[in-house]
Amino acid sequence: MAEPKIKKIKSTVKMKEILADYFRELDEASRTGSKPIAWCTSVGPAELLHSLGFLVHYPENHGALLGATRESVEYIPKANAIGYSPDICSYLTSDVGACLAGKTPLRAAYNMEGVPKPSVLVYNTNQCRDVEDWFQYYARNWGVPIVGVHTPRGLTEVDEPLIDNIAGQIENLVEPLEKIAGTKFSAERFSEVVGLSRRTTDLWWEVLSCAAKVPSPITFFDGTVHMAPAVVLRGKSVANEYYETLLEELHDDIEHNKAAVEGEQIRLYWDGMPIWGKLRDLAMFFISQKTNVVASTYCNSWVFKAFDAADPFRSMARAYTELFICRSDYYKEDYITNLIKEFQCDGILFHDARTCPNNSNNRYGMPERMINDRGIPAVVIYGDLCDLRCYSEEQSRLSMEAFLEQIRQGK
């Protein structure tokens, strides 16, 4: 039997170029000190940082790169050896371990001197406490200033007093950040960046929505790659131009009925983190099963429909507090059910990522509730985002094959 092929996305060439430019600019600023660099959590207040003239580095992006290149497995034990548990976020342990080893995949990929040197570390605990502890490592060891936003989690409702509080915390960042950047805050510039971010997010959602078509021209695995501009370049017109190009290609695919998975028969929803070191293997597995993973919580995490250039602080507070990851299971179950309908999915695959309880939604009975109360088939596989020692390929494959067979029989 011929080996299944992954459908090429032509726009990838352009994406690689804009990412190379982004890293080149960071590297130059890091080497010459020409511009201040902020490290920011992936759903931290990036728009405020851009408006103040910071270049922004996202350590989670570095963690994903360490996972995708499988270098993380070598570095995690180095962080464990200085007291960072193997059970905490493996982005954190991969990144800190790589720092201890003096290594980074950014050298081979972008010819960079190393990870960009930060002038400030900026976090938001909306996703987990690990991000604050992660940045504290660098604050302690490198003496870099650290500031952040503390967001409560497990929220069913996001009400106005909470938005007042978060917006106030973001406003309080302005003064220390102005001092570090050596610039004055401009409300006009801030509003402009939030407007650009809103456009990025709208375009990214349009890209993801192409997968609602049957057959879908894109997979979850494509999404984990093509979300890079939404993560690291949101608020920049270059990201928006990129998504316009990608959309043109995907609309053309839809018009010509070009499926990402030839002969698509089953459509799935992926909940939880990607398994970065196994993206290709999993993509190939699903192609061989004529199954497409068409929707996910993960890729949707960079869709911020609340951004509003006319009300930048409050809309940003809302956007970064309404995230799926900060919400209660009541909210999450309704959210997933709506997407299952919209994307015509036959079932949910929950990834229990060993080191990320924050984004593993299977641990408090959700799969059983989805099956029993909502009639949606579900399966759980056990793995991790970066620590491949937690992932049993054989066992996961058997669970997924049995699950797909169950769906086939139910159709």
Contacts with ligand SF4 by CB under 6 A lie at 60, 89, 91, 127-128, 130-131, 273, 356, 358-359, 385
Query: Which residue carries 């190939």 as its tokens?
Result: 284
Nearest-angstrom CA–CA distance, 14 and 30: 24
Distance in angstroms (rounded) separating the CA atoms of residues 291 and 404: 8
The neighbouring-strand residues paired with 123 are: 148
Give CA–CA dist 321/125, Å, rounded: 10
Q: Which two tokens stand for residue 131?
A: 């991000």
Choice between 240 and 321, CB closer to ligand SF4: 321
Nearer of residues 89 and 376 to ligand SF4, judged by Cβ: 89
Nearer to ligand SF4, 131 or 239 (CB): 131
Taking the complex as a whole, how short is the minimal distance between the CB of residue 358 and ligand SF4, in angstroms? 4
Judged by beta carbon, residue 276 or residue 343, the one nearer ligand SF4 is 276
Q: Rounded to the nearest whole angstrom, what is the least distance from the CB of residue 330 to ligand SF4 in the complex?
A: 20
Q: How far is the CB of 128 from ligand SF4 (least distance, A)?
A: 3
Instruction: Pick between residue 120 and residue 131 the one whose CB is nearest to ligand SF4.
Output: 131
Minimum distance, C-beta of residue 89 to ligand SF4, in the bound complex (Å): 3
Angle between helices 90-101 and 72-81 (to 10 degrees): 90
Q: Which lies closer to ligand SF4 via its Cβ, residue 129 or residue 258?
A: 129
The nearer residue to ligand SF4, 127 or 240, going by C-beta atoms, is 127
33: left (phi over 0), alpha (psi -120 to 50) or beta: left
**To the nearest whole angstrom, how small is the minimum distance from the Cβ of residue 34 to ligand SF4?**
29
* Shortest distance, position 251 Cβ to ligand SF4, whole Å: 32
Q: Taken in order 342, 348, 354, 360, is the CA torsion positive or negative?
A: positive
> In this complex, which beta carbon is closest to ligand SF4, that of residue 253 or of residue 387?
387
Smallest distance, Å, CB 293 to ligand SF4?
19
Q: Which is nearer to ligand SF4, 130 or 352 (CB)?
A: 130
**Beta carbon of residue 129, minimum distance to ligand SF4 (angstroms, whole number):** 8
Q: Cα–Cα distance between 203 and 236 in angstroms, integer?
A: 13
Measured from the CB atom, the residue of 92 and 260 that comes closer to ligand SF4 is 92
- The answer to whether 141 and 117 have CB atoms below 8 angstroms apart is no
Residues 124, 103: Cα–Cα separation, whole Å: 26
Distance of closest approach, residue 130 Cβ to ligand SF4, in angstroms: 4
CB of 35 to ligand SF4, least distance (A): 26
Nearer to ligand SF4 by Cβ, of 71 and 130: the residue is 130
Least separation in angstroms between residue 383's CB and ligand SF4 is 13
Report the C-alpha gap between 62 and 72 in whole angstroms: 10
Sheet holding 146-149, edge to edge: 55-57, 37-40, 120-124, 146-149
**Sign of the C-alpha dihedral computed for residues 45, 50, 56 and 61 taken in this order:** positive
Give the Cα-Cα-Cα angle 112, 232, 234 (nearest 5 degrees): 145
